[in-house]
Amino acid sequence: MQPKTKKILIVSSIIGAIVVIAGIIIVRRRKQRTQLEQTILSGSPNVDNIGDKAVGKLIEWPLKYGSGYRSDSERNCVKTVQEWINKKIIENNVYALPMLVVDGHFGDATQGALQKIAGVKQVSYTLHNTMESYVKAGGIGVFLNNLFSINPETL
């Protein structure tokens, strides 16, 4: 074998080994990330048992896709957003959206409905407070019902 051929063979072997090792590292990390995402989305016992006592009242603002898994407080905030969306769907369902399950997990359905109704993908602290006051007040439906209802005692 000629020296030039030997050098090419050695260099190509080294490059091939580096590519194989890099590929193995990438596949391992992707597999770990996928397992973590599946664990979070499936609501494994380890995630559900965290609660407020273990991590405190942790809420990461803005609420976005994937929110509702850190603590009970964050889950309650996402439930408020979902209740607000459901009230808006009842009041004026322009997009023919299905009602959301109020589970406290900010997923694809919540994000899609929020974007169609409010035009945003994330809920800021200020927007959440507005939604919370709207949900507690009963929304425009209660207002209109009170406005146009006839009270027999006043007749």
pTM as predicted: 0.55
> Is the pLDDT reported for residue 120 higher than 70?
yes
Please enumerate in sequence order all residues whose Cβ is within 8 A of that of 128, keeping only pairs 6 or more positions apart, or say none. Answer: 61, 63, 77, 80, 81
Separation of alpha carbons 80 and 128, rounded Å: 8
Return the domain boundaries, the chain.
Answer: 3-42, 53-151
* DSSP character at residue 101: P
Phi-psi region of 60 (alpha: psi -120 to 50; beta: other; left: phi over 0): beta
Distances (CA, A) of 149 to 94, 110, 137, 141, 146: 25, 33, 17, 12, 5
In tens, the pLDDT along 7-51 reads 999 999 999 999 999 999 998 888 888 877 777 766 545 544 444
In tens, the pLDDT along 63-117 reads 999 998 888 889 999 999 999 999 988 888 777 888 999 999 999 999 999 999 9
